[in-house]
Structure 1
Amino acid sequence: MKSQKQFLLSSIGLAVLTLVSQAQAAGQQPGTPATAAAQQGVQAEIQQVVVTGTASASGTRKIDTSFSITTATEEQLKSASPSSTADVLKLVPGVYAESTGGQSGANVEVRGFPSGSDSPFVSVQLNGNPIYPVPVLSFFEGTSAFRLDDTIERVEVLRGGPSTIYSVGQPGATMNFILKKGSDTPERTLRFTAGTGDLRRVDGFFGGKIADGWYGTVGGFVRESHGVRDPQFKADDGHQLTASLTRTLDGGEVTAYVRTTKDKNAFYTGVPLISSNNGRTITEFPGFDPLTGTLMSEEMRIFTIDAAPGKTLTRDLADGRGMDATVFGLNYEQKIGGWDLSNKANYFDGDLNTISMFTGNNPVSAAAYLATANANHNPGAAAGSGTMTYVKGGTVAPDQQVVQAGLWSVEKQLKSFTNEFRASRELIKNHTFTAGIYHANYKSNDEWYLGNSHLMTATPNASLIDVRLNNGVIVSNRGVDGNVFYAPTASYKGDNTAVFIADEFKVNERIKLDVGARREKQSLHASISNLKSGDTDNNPLTVYNNGTSMTTGTFTQLDRDDSVNSFTAGALFKLSENASLFARANKGHTFIFFDDMRNAGTQAALNDRNGVPTPEVSQYEVGFKTATPLYSAYINAFFTDFSGISFQQITTDAVLNSVSGSKGHGVEFELAVRPITNLQVTLTGNYQKSEYKDNPAISGNDVQRQPQLQFRLTPSYRIPLGDNALKLYATYTHIGDRWADQANLSYLPSYKTFDAGVLATVGDHWEFRVAGTNLSNELGLTEGNSRLTGAQSSGPINARPIFGRAVEASVMYRF
């Protein structure tokens, strides 16, 4: 903790020195040691325009915005080597992304916003359109509906700020990916990538002018891989295609785009580990490499679910948390007669299913498992009565470590349509007014089968185990040792309509104020199956399927309407042309989502606002922004206050729900210094302290899964070689310690990683890149065993580590 405070004080000290020296740097012409190329890059940063969170569709200079926003160009994205869309968020201070599940299913925490899983406070947009207007549902979070490729020009990530009144009204973080558009200069690239886990990938992009006033692009990827954790089948297998068509107009343009994605992705949960020293020390479980191992195996890949009498389902683990979806978008913006008009619309239709393994109880010896089975199903018998055999044949040794994991099936069919219209104009001198309307219609049809526990060896690519007691009880059959404990089917519909207004007041050349308000109404409807418990084969001796959850054939109808008001106010004070101070306050909301309706159970419970409230959040921040040839700095302090946040935890045999609030504060920083020609060193991260309130059971505890301190130190050096160039870069990342649970009983120790890469450009056509992540093979945890409650600090545990060392090499040709 002392080192954390020292680091924080050092960061604040650097910020103060930067602010003081800015007065001296203002108005000076860039000079040595910056080269013309370096100056060009800095000037591009200084003049960079962002469109996310701005009232006008044409955007605002990043330095001139009165809110916190992080941007990354195509090259910055590639240099970061993100393992998934969620992993892009490691570039964003104040955000901690647990991207260890693979391509989909990340958990993302935003600067003190309390969340236990998924990413309820992160919205993902494409060209300013929400891909799906609800940021999170059970077994769905926004980054799962997006895949990175070479069609992306840049990403803008807005934290808080005016996003409470625009688009979906997300009070947390908004990731806005901007597609490349065709231009008069053709761009044609082809990229081949190979890497760890037998990765094979081809990316292509083609863009340019079609005819006078018409421009187009097309691009995408084809990819397959066994992954860093090899499940003995393809972990990632899919493709994506994106196309756009732009028509220039007098004072504007209209762009239509379509993106279709069909991708299967293995989903990784916990693996066996050894915990000691009250959870402060995590070591390898004997025989299991936590950096590359997974329990999944070809043996269990095709599995069955006893869903009801006479109803058996077959599923394939290779389908994982995949995506088979299409999104259509149409963006219009134009200046007409003093009006700045824009309209953004999109339609999303797809399946985002979860066919995956979820670890259960912590590892035990086979003898201990058999003893428990006898105690539960054969009272009075000796602890070792019965047999434990491998499904493939052979007797299980008593000292063999075994573990339970559920093979779950969750099918989700999602559809949505969103549209946002805005109009801006200077109606009074120095006052630019904006008014708009936002509408979203969305659906989700779900069919769940949770539980379906399987008994297996605690080894990489595990083997399944059968257990039979000497009284005729079958505890495990073909590895299945547990029933489906929760199997709802449901259909949900939602409609949101919002109107918003904003006024930007230019007081003088140095001071700018803005205020905005939003009124939004949400209407939800749900039809949820009623459930009963039963024995699927009417045989009491087959205990693994007794008490199976199944539908009754009847449904509960639930409805709820909510209306909320959101506000924002900001101020910008320009210290110089390229430096400014800002302050902002906002009050926002998140509505309840489909799963909150289902968890309420009855209409009476749903209408009890104390039981299922509409969450509220208040945020305040002050910050400083500047960019010069020598350095750049984006620094802000923030304060948050939450109430009425619903939480859900799905354990090995139940679904637990709770409600609480939180409060927090901290500082975020994005700093860069360029001391000599072609050398840049950046430091990004945050320090924050957030704790729960309003719920006596956890009040005063640290908000779960969020490190107080995290930072990334990235030096990069470019070596000009005539018409060629070599760029060397590396990143040291520190993630502080955290608590895995709200009760602060399960500790997650800090960890650090080291990444590095080299980029070679040869002439105008060739580009070669080699990049490696976690080169030191650091063992770090992103979560404990979320299927269990209470302390998990001694002996064998299940937990989810970061991925081990991975290396990728690519070659790109421009033609």
Structure 2
Amino acid sequence: MKNPFLPSAIAAAVLTLLNQTAAQAQTTEPAAAGDTSAQAAPTQEVAKEIQQVVVTGVASARGVRKVDSAFSITTANEEQLKQAAPSSTADIMKIVPGVYAESTGGQSGANIEVRGFPSGSDSPFVSVQLMGNPIYPPPTLSFFEGSSAFRLDDTVERVEVLRGGPSTIWSNGQPGATMNFILKEGTDTPEGTVRFTTGTGSLRRVDMYYGGKISDGWYGSVGGFYRKTDGVRDAGFPADDGHQITATLTRKLDQGKLTIYARNTDDKNAFYTGVPLISSNNGRTISAFPGFDPLTGTLMSGEMRNFTIEAGPGKTLTKDLADGRGLKATVFGADFDQKVGDWSISNKFNRFDGDLNTVAMFTGNNPLSMNDYLKNAIAAANGNAAVVAAAGGVATAGTASFVHGGAVDGNQQVVQAGLWAVEKQLRSFTDELRVSKDLGGGHTVTVGGYFADYSSHDVWYLGNSHLMTAQPQASLINVTLNNGVIVSKNGTDGNINYAPVASYDGRNTAGFISDDWQVNDKIKVDFGVRHEQQKISGTISNLTSADTDNNILTVYNNGTSMPNGSNTYLSRTDSANSFTVGGNYKLGKNSSVFVRANRGHTFISFDDMRGVGNQADVNNHGILPTPKVSQYEVGFKTATQLYTAYINAFHTDFDGIAFTQILTDGSELHRISGSKGNGLEFELAVRPIDNLQLALTGDYQKSEYKDNPDTAGKTVQRQPKLQFRFTPTYRIPFGEGNSAKLYGTYTSIGSRWADQLNQQYLPAYHTFDAGVLFELGEKIEVRLAGTNLNNELGLTEGNSRLTTGNVGPINARPLFGRTWEASLLYRF
């Protein structure tokens, strides 16, 4: 078989030789008299980059220098996070090569795709950790993805994002990407900040942080935020409203440390799905729908904010769209590390308890005229013999009126959108214990175990279609036919079509062993294996259909889905093995090359089990396989005063995953697909003169499906072949202790397919962001930043509840339009 790494290996070898030559020249050729540039010390910022230690994906809790790590990892400190101006936790992933984040839904509910992995929504291959432990062990469930359980604020010191590599044997064994957030801790030098922020959507936000020494050996910190905003897409009501508080308590030990942390979050965020657009040229050209600004508009409105769900006979519920996809949760944990002679002990645990509910609009069928809607409604009613009989004859015409009064013109464009409500109560406990021993001869062996216990209690109300105008802050529409049939009442034109109540429990237990071998001063290799078992079960309500008002002429609530009082119990036990092996060769003090291979897996989830619906199919590995993935990498790393480079080539081979898509009628589409792909990731920076840095990050990949004849050879959905970000930064000192830093980012995202069959085309797009940071002495910072300053109309998602491509009027989810933020920080 042709070696996919040969070109990349040659490139890495050339880079290696060039770097060795440069290193030798620097060590053998002294600087000319009077020339101090060759001996110039790195700036403080560059020195931190060169000496930066990462703790994610390594056996030792003390970590390893990033430039010496034998895996692909991206890091961002507090300032780099602010400079990236992420709109949400998921949006941080835009700085990570090999990952594409669709964060246009708002603070929560992102879709995150990882290089070559076959996923179509949420983030099944991205785990979110706090202090090295997963916040909630399964990375994704329906209406939950890991980044939704975390909010950024000024208590975060840095984030580390590990891709593949050794992550398959540690913690929850994520084979894709792991985001690990490290909190600030108190130090000997007290530090406090308060930051006020305003911006687009009438944003009002306050962040505070304070950390310092409590007494000998004891340190503490506390901080958080309060925020309220109408949102970038103005729904006519506050879209984001919440607060968070985080605290740490650290005890310094002799050759060790114990940190206890707690975080409480109460935050609700409007969730945005598609808006009306015009698609032409087979989806290659996207333009605004008449009367609708796709960059700032949303169909949500104050008129529909408090909506009613007819859940059963005599049972109605009122929900608030402002609740969106919220987080009301507490996480409590500890991180313990102790060295005793040649032994090291590390233990991390946390407890998560939270409600992550979704109350949101989900767009359905594509826009059409009011006249066409009436024709369809008449045909549907006349096609139901029972309805015709009850009405005493067929309908020949219909009338449409606004809920707030007045007739609707027949040429008015209208859409249908479901107002869904999903309650999710999530609980989990995780613990990871590691014991390491220096055996001599360069060998350090680590053995340990991982345990996770977690649950989810779900109450779903899907469907609940509403008829509305295809306009920003849409108006609801009532429709009646001339034979007495009521098609839409108070805007509701469709029943609850899927309403399960379910309780799930899961338990994962894993054991692992690894060996880090320092062969000599230049060569270090590591090897690790893991065995894991998962046991999951669920009690899921059986459903029936009924008419909630016993009036067949009110067709909008006929056939409403509801529990029938009985339940189905499902369970499954799986086990799998994972391994990783890698090596690092130091070319010089601050440069190295690495190779890595791993084999990982994912287990089926609660939703997979519910989706197939019976115990025989749950047990059938042909229907619900245990997906496995192999990854191979070769990379080059270097960090100097002049330049920084992290480059790696990768190959992925995925053996199959059960894929589920919820369609407009509440039904589920199931497929099993594998994938394979090759690519190159790069993080480059050059500093040609003082105070100027030019950075380029991104990746090129070619990934396609395999194993399924319907999709084999098709490009893996939602992932661009090429994406990159170019970020120049220039700092201008003026006066004593004062400076201005100018920065901007040009982002290019290649074309993608929204679906597995490659029928919904998503065109390439390009955006420009910029900002300026004024540092006024040591106490004051003023920042002004803007995103999508060119108002690019780029799509991150097509109509995910339809399976075919469309031209003409469509629903799709575009980027947020031009936004800005201004903040004032005072340090004390």
**Common fold: TM-score over 0.5:** yes
For each residue in 1:592-631, what CA deviation from the matched residue of structure 2 results, as whole angstroms up to 9, or x when unmatched? 0110110120000000000011111011010000011110
- Name which of 148, 161, 167 aligns with 1:163: 167
Tell me if 1:799 matches 2:789.
no
Report the Cα offset of residue 17 of structure 1.
6.9
Aligned to 2:751: 737
Partner SS, residue 418 of structure 1: strand
- Name which of 679, 688, 692 aligns with 1:666: 679
Aligned to 1:151: 155
Map 1:14-163 to 2 at 5 A. 18-26=15-23, 28=26, 39-163=43-167
Map 1:570-609 to 2 at 5 A. 570-609=582-621
Report the Cα offset of residue 660 of structure 1.
1.2
Tell me if 1:434 matches 2:450.
no
- Name which of 716, 738, 746 aligns with 2:729: 716
| d(CA) in 2 for partners of 1:608, 1:546 | 35
Partner SS, residue 114 of structure 1: coil
Q: Retained in 2: the 8 A contact 1:348–1:415?
A: yes
| d(CA) in 2 for partners of 1:764, 1:61 | 29
Which stretch shifts more, 652-661 or 292-301? 652-661
Q: Retained in 2: the 8 A contact 1:33–1:677?
A: no
Q: 1:13 to 1:220 in 2, by over 3 A?
A: farther
Aligned to 1:610: 622
Aligned to 2:403: 391
Q: 1:206 to 1:34 in 2, by over 3 A?
A: farther
Aligned to 2:467: 455
| d(CA) in 2 for partners of 1:194, 1:766 | 17
Aligned to 1:480: 492
| d(CA) in 2 for partners of 1:355, 1:14 | 50
Q: Retained in 1: the 8 A contact 2:645–2:682?
A: yes
Letter matched to residue 559 of structure 1: S
Q: 1:400 to 1:37 in 2, by over 3 A?
A: farther
Q: Retained in 2: the 8 A contact 1:35–1:677?
A: no
Letter matched to residue 72 of structure 2: S
Map 1:600-639 to 2 at 5 A. 600-639=612-651
- Name which of 797, 802, 806 aligns with 1:788: 802
Tell me if 1:652 matches 2:664.
yes
| d(CA) in 1 for partners of 2:221, 2:766 | 40
Partner SS, residue 429 of structure 2: strand
Q: 1:465 to 1:38 in 2, by over 3 A?
A: farther
Tell me if 1:315 matches 2:319.
yes
Report the Cα offset of residue 21 of structure 1.
3.4
Aligned to 1:4: none
Tell me if 1:774 matches 2:783.
no
Aligned to 2:773: 759
Q: Retained in 1: the 8 A contact 2:16–2:587?
A: no
Report the Cα offset of residue 40 of structure 1.
2.3
Report the Cα offset of residue 733 of structure 1.
0.1
Q: Retained in 1: the 8 A contact 2:428–2:455?
A: yes
Matched residue count: 807
Q: Retained in 1: the 8 A contact 2:721–2:750?
A: yes
Aligned to 2:703: 690
For each residue in 1:238-274, what CA deviation from the matched residue of structure 2 results, as whole angstroms up to 9, or x when unmatched? 0000000000111011010100000010000000000
Letter matched to residue 718 of structure 1: R
Map 1:189-200 to 2 at 5 A. 189-200=193-204
Map 1:512-523 to 2 at 5 A. 512-523=524-535
For each residue in 1:497-553, what CA deviation from the matched residue of structure 2 results, as whole angstroms up to 9, or x when unmatched? 000000011111111111100000111110000011111111111111111111011
- Long gaps (5+) in structure 1: 1-8
| d(CA) in 1 for partners of 2:8, 2:406 | 60
| d(CA) in 2 for partners of 1:362, 1:326 | 40
| d(CA) in 1 for partners of 2:792, 2:9 | 29
Q: 1:757 to 1:504 in 2, by over 3 A?
A: same
| d(CA) in 2 for partners of 1:11, 1:152 | 36
| d(CA) in 1 for partners of 2:39, 2:312 | 72
Aligned to 1:556: 568
| d(CA) in 2 for partners of 1:37, 1:183 | 27
For each residue in 1:720-772, what CA deviation from the matched residue of structure 2 results, as whole angstroms up to 9, or x when unmatched? 11320110000000000000000001100000000000000001100000000
| d(CA) in 2 for partners of 1:350, 1:585 | 37
| d(CA) in 2 for partners of 1:213, 1:34 | 42
Report the Cα offset of residue 19 of structure 1.
3.9
Letter matched to residue 483 of structure 2: N
| d(CA) in 2 for partners of 1:101, 1:645 | 25
Aligned to 1:226: 230
Q: 1:436 to 1:493 in 2, by over 3 A?
A: same
Letter matched to residue 226 of structure 2: V
Which stretch shifts more, 188-197 or 12-21? 12-21
Q: Retained in 1: the 8 A contact 2:71–2:166?
A: yes
Report the Cα offset of residue 337 of structure 1.
2.4
Tell me if 1:235 matches 2:239.
yes
Aligned to 2:430: 418
| d(CA) in 1 for partners of 2:342, 2:395 | 84
Q: 1:13 to 1:79 in 2, by over 3 A?
A: farther
Identity of aligned pairs, percent?
69
Letter matched to residue 710 of structure 2: A
Aligned to 1:259: 263
| d(CA) in 1 for partners of 2:9, 2:150 | 36
- Name which of 235, 250, 253 aligns with 1:249: 253
Report the Cα offset of residue 428 of structure 1.
3.8
Q: 1:455 to 1:249 in 2, by over 3 A?
A: same
| d(CA) in 2 for partners of 1:775, 1:449 | 38
**Normalising by the residue count of structure 2, what TM-score does the alignment of the two structures yield?**
0.96
Report the Cα offset of residue 157 of structure 1.
0.1
Letter matched to residue 741 of structure 1: D
Aligned to 1:292: 296
Q: Retained in 2: the 8 A contact 1:34–1:678?
A: no
Letter matched to residue 188 of structure 2: D
Report the Cα offset of residue 208 of structure 1.
0.3
| d(CA) in 1 for partners of 2:601, 2:578 | 7
Report the Cα offset of residue 169 of structure 1.
0.1
Aligned to 1:679: 692
Letter matched to residue 679 of structure 1: L
Letter matched to residue 280 of structure 2: S
Aligned to 1:3: none
Report the Cα offset of residue 59 of structure 1.
0.4
Q: Retained in 2: the 8 A contact 1:386–1:469?
A: yes
For each residue in 1:678-727, what CA deviation from the matched residue of structure 2 results, as whole angstroms up to 9, or x when unmatched? 10000000000111111111111000000000000000001111320110
Aligned to 2:355: 351
Q: Retained in 2: the 8 A contact 1:371–1:384?
A: no
| d(CA) in 2 for partners of 1:750, 1:33 | 43
Q: 1:808 to 1:35 in 2, by over 3 A?
A: farther
Aligned to 2:523: 511
Aligned to 1:5: none
Q: 1:37 to 1:530 in 2, by over 3 A?
A: farther
| d(CA) in 1 for partners of 2:463, 2:12 | 51
